[in-house]
Amino acid sequence: MSKGLEFSKKTKERLQAIVAKYPEKGAALLPTLWLAQREFSAITPEVEEYVAGLLGLSLVRVHEALSFYTMYTPQPLGKYHIQLCTNISCSLLGAEELLAYLKKRLNIEAGETTPDKKFTLSTVECLGYCGTAPVMRLNETFYENLTENGIDQILRKLP
Amino acid sequence: MPELVLTKNVGKKDSHTLGIYEQGGGYQALKKALLEMKPEDVIKEVDKSGLRGRGGAGFPAGKKWSFIPKEAPKPKYLTVNADEGEPGTFKDRVIMENDPHMLVEGSIITSYAIGIYQAYIYVRGEYTRSISRLEDAINEAYARGYLGKNILDTGYYLDMAVHPGAGAYICGEETALLESLEGKKGQPRMKPPFPAIVGLFQGPTVINNVETIACVPHIIKNGGEWFNNLGAPGVGGGIKLFPVSGHVKKPGVYELPVGTPLREIIYNYAGGVRGDKKVKAVIPGGSSAPVLKVEEIDVKMDFNSLAAIGSMMGSGAIIVMDEDTDLVKTLRILIKFYAHESCGKCTPCREGTGWMAKIITRIEKGQGESSDLDALLDIANGIRGRTLCPMGDAAAMPVQSFVTKFRGEFEDYIKRG
Ligand SMILES: Cc1cc2nc3c(=O)[nH]c(=O)nc-3n(C[C@H](O)[C@H](O)[C@H](O)COP(=O)(O)O)c2cc1C
Ligand code: SF4
Ligand code: FES
């Protein structure tokens, strides 16, 4: 068993309920990784080992999934994760200009975290909000019809 | 304005709750199906409705269900495809956030019709609100006896669960979705065997799009013929959600008869082009659908009419580009998307999308060569029809259509340097 890493009691109960939904335990891998990401904030090699043990899966299978899906993060991110859509409908309405603005404002490139660990900036593919483009996701909140001004206001209000 | 079916509750207070859904006639179709109809009658009604899949390929829903063997050694499954990743598409989210019970009810009726006892809804991981609304709706349905054991005292039982994805466009492809539901990386499977015979956990499996399944309660309540007649005269096939984005004044999801002319959707519903500019190009069915020139926008938005002019209805997502749009940049965005999302399982798609991305980036930077356009077309032709899953075609079609239909603009870009 890995070094002291363990889900809280509540999360363990949730895990049990999730596993019960499938005829095979391994099918619960994606939702379990979600639980792990929320609880431990990143899926480090120790977390991978813990999850593999919980579901009776080989480490390889857990690792394979982890590296395939883009929403899991092996490293801790900044306190605020900004994900800007740069796909077609958002770009038609200025997403690439907003990306340049965000980079300048945060003084980092896409894929980087600010030195104070407050912001991570990513670009993502279509988020399914094309009718209110351009859009970004900040942690789990979507911000639609974005402008430079709007970005200023959103960022200024963050604690 | 025709009467709304799928979006009539959008924007109403608490439209996502069971109480409001039942007040509007919700779950009456379920009662009708389970108490008055035999499973095969349900399939017949859906057959009559002319309902074709809303996820992309447009396969007739009733026909798909009839492929599922009656007797099978393994349990059968329904998996609802709520991965909604096709750029330009944002319609399934509108159903899941505003009317999750419509999807739950449709899934129960569908499962009953096919003899299924376990259903999963695969929702893309980014859609956190859809996920929680569906989970709440499923819990409410269990509490009211619409799910679980002995539904409506008929002896029929069904379990339903939401499965969250985690960011991968390819998981919208039906066999990749099954892999992902089994907890593996989402790479498409070889076909045959088809999912109808060997699908999820080796059992016969039906995969349908959210919008497809959301039509089912309405078809059962009002009849297949009624639904079919909601389509445009001479076209049929019911109503459809058209998500409209890009350079229009009023982007949004419009529920309209199948067969409504594209021009009408852009000008009468979406308000025309911002700044009253001219249209240069329109993608009619999500990013994978071949682009149309402005001369082509009188086309009717139905599967056959779009196929007849070499494009496709796909997800029905309409992306409008005005006269000032830089099509080289736009194509670069699309190619990079496909290159990023290629799952890497087969060579033409994995390598081809990468090469195309390199070439289009070079052209955009003013370093293109006159041979580059033919090279792009060569690679796209080499991908088309030669890949394990339809994503290869999806990547090739935008390239072929953009470069062929707007060749002059691409050549100018290269000449200008
Ligand atoms: C690369 C790729 C991505 C797809 N993404 C989706 C999707 O996000 N949602 C969807 O319903 N269908 C998607 N499809 C189509 C599905 O494979 C499948 O045809 C569809 O879910 C069947 O449902 P329907 O018959 O109700 O349309 C995709 C197909 C491909 C090749
Ligand atoms: S066509 Fe592309 S996405 Fe589909 S299996 Fe091949 S590599 Fe994967
Ligand atoms: S293109 Fe940005 S949300 Fe769809």
Class (C level, CATH) for A80-156? alpha beta
Answer whether the bond into residue B195 is a cis peptide, omega within 30°: no
**φ and ψ at B66, to 5 degrees?**
-75, -10
CA dist B39 and A123 (Å) reads 47
Which pLDDT score is estimated for A3?
57
B176 lines ligand 2 (CB under 6 A): no
Answer whether the bond into residue B73 is a cis peptide, omega within 30°: no
A vs B, Cβ pairs < 8 A, gives 136
User: How far, in Å, is the centroid of ligand 1 from the Cα of B171?
Assistant: 9
- In this structure, whether the domain defined by B327-416 belongs to CATH 1.20.1440.230 is answered with yes
A129 lines ligand 3 (CB under 6 A): yes
CATH of domain B239-322: 3.10.20.600
ipTM of the complex: 0.97
Which pLDDT score is estimated for B153?
97
Choose the closest CB to B167 out of A55, A71, A88: A71
pLDDT tens-digit map of A71-93 = 999 999 999 999 999 999 999 99
Confidence category of residue A1, pLDDT binned at 50, 70, 90 = very low
- Ligand with an atom nearest the CA of residue B394: 1
Which pLDDT score is estimated for B3?
80
Which chain B positions have a beta carbon within 8 Å of A55's beta carbon?
183
Which chain B positions have a beta carbon within 8 Å of A139's beta carbon?
none
Which CATH topology does A9-68 take?
Answer: Arc Repressor Mutant, subunit A (1.10.10)
Of B180, B211, B219, B236, the closest CA to residue B86 belongs to B211
B358 vs chain A: nearest CA distance in angstroms?
17
Of B155, B324, B295, the closest CA to residue A92 belongs to B324
Class (C level, CATH) for B18-228? alpha beta
Task: Assess whether pLDDT exceeds 50 at residue A2.
Answer: no
Query: pTM higher than 0.80, yes or no?
Result: yes
Q: Using the structure block, give the residue that is written with the tokens 């999801």.
A: B253
Q: Fold match between B18-228 and B327-416?
A: no
B325 vs chain A: nearest CA distance in angstroms?
8
Q: What is the average pLDDT score of chain B?
A: 97
Task: Assess whether pLDDT exceeds 90 at residue B308.
Answer: yes
Contact at 8 Å (CB) between B77 and B232? no
Domain assignments of chain B as residue spans, ordered by start: 18-228, 239-322, 327-416
What dihedral angle (degrees, nearest 10) is formed by the CA atoms of B324, B329, B330, B333?
Answer: -160
Task: Assess whether pLDDT exceeds 60 at residue A36.
Answer: yes
Of B29, B198, B194, B193, the closest CA to residue B107 belongs to B29
Which pLDDT score is estimated for B417?
79
DSSP for A29-85 reads HHHHHHHHHHHHSS--HHHHHHHHHHHT--HHHHHHHHHH-TT--SS---SEEEEEE
pLDDT tens-digit map of B208-218 = 999 999 999 99
pLDDT tens-digit map of B248-259 = 999 999 999 999
Burial class (CB in 10 A: 0-12, 13-18, 19+), B73: exposed
- Interchain contact, B167 vs A34, CB within 8 Å: no
What's the rounded mean pLDDT across residues B15-28? Answer: 97
CA dist A73 and A82 (Å) reads 14
Lookup: tokens for B117: 């006892």
CA dist B197 and B407 (Å) reads 45
pLDDT tens-digit map of A78-134 = 999 999 999 999 999 999 999 999 999 999 999 999 999 999 999 999 999 999 999
Q: List the single residue in B with minimal CA-CA distance to A65.
A: B185
Residues of chain A with CATH 1.10.10: 9-68
Residues of chain A with CATH 3.40.30.10: 80-156
- Interchain contact, B317 vs A130, CB within 8 Å: yes
pLDDT tens-digit map of B253-286 = 999 999 999 999 999 999 999 999 999 999 999 9
Lookup: tokens for B128: 């956190």
C-alpha triplet B64, B181, B103: angle, nearest 5°: 55
Q: In chain A, count H helices and then E strands.
A: 7, 4
